[in-house]
């Protein structure tokens, strides 16, 4: 079965702290894709990154970085020097549903306090 686990339900940090959001996935596919989305209170999903299973290079985009480790089936997301605007719910997702849909984790609510 395909599954995405985000064990952290809520995280609260103070501005400028670094924070890592964990994501563990399960799949039997050899080719798969992983995503991270940000969902602010408005509800709209904001795409952050997509990673395919053949590319294990870590990625950095500004204050955001991602650590993909196939050996542990993890795709963790780190925000460096967090800001209040980073407050949102973050979803990790796996492309691999039987019909081509995404399978989402339960999400991690990040609160960044000033």
- In the bound state with other proteins, the residue whose beta carbon lies nearer, of 64 and 104, is 104
43: which residues sit within 8 A by CB, 6+ positions away? none
- Interaction between residue 44 and other proteins (CB under 8 A): yes
Two tokens, residue 82: 């967090």
Place of tokens 């719910």: 89
Q: Is 71 helix (H, G, I), strand (E, B) or coil?
A: helix
- Compute the least distance from the CB of residue 64 to other proteins, in Å: 15
Instruction: Give, as ranges, the residues between 17 and 36 that touch other proteins (CB under 8 A).
Output: 33, 35
Interacting stretch for other proteins, rule CB under 8 A, among 20-28, 58-66, 69-77, 102-110?
102-110
């Amino acid at each position: 079965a395909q599954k995405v686990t985000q064990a952290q339900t809520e995280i609260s940090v103070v501005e400028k702290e670094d924070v890592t959001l964990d994501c563990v996935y399960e799949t039997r596919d050899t080719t798969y894709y992983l995503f991270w989305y940000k969902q602010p209170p408005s509800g709209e999903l904001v795409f952050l990154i997509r990673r395919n299973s053949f590319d294990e290079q870590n990625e950095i985009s500004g204050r955001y970085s991602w650590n993909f480790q196939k050996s542990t089936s993890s795709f963790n997301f780190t925000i460096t020097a967090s800001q209040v605007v980073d407050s949102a719910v973050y979803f990790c997702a796996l492309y691999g549903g039987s019909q081509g849909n995404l399978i989402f984790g339960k999400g991690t609510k990040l609160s960044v306090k000033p």
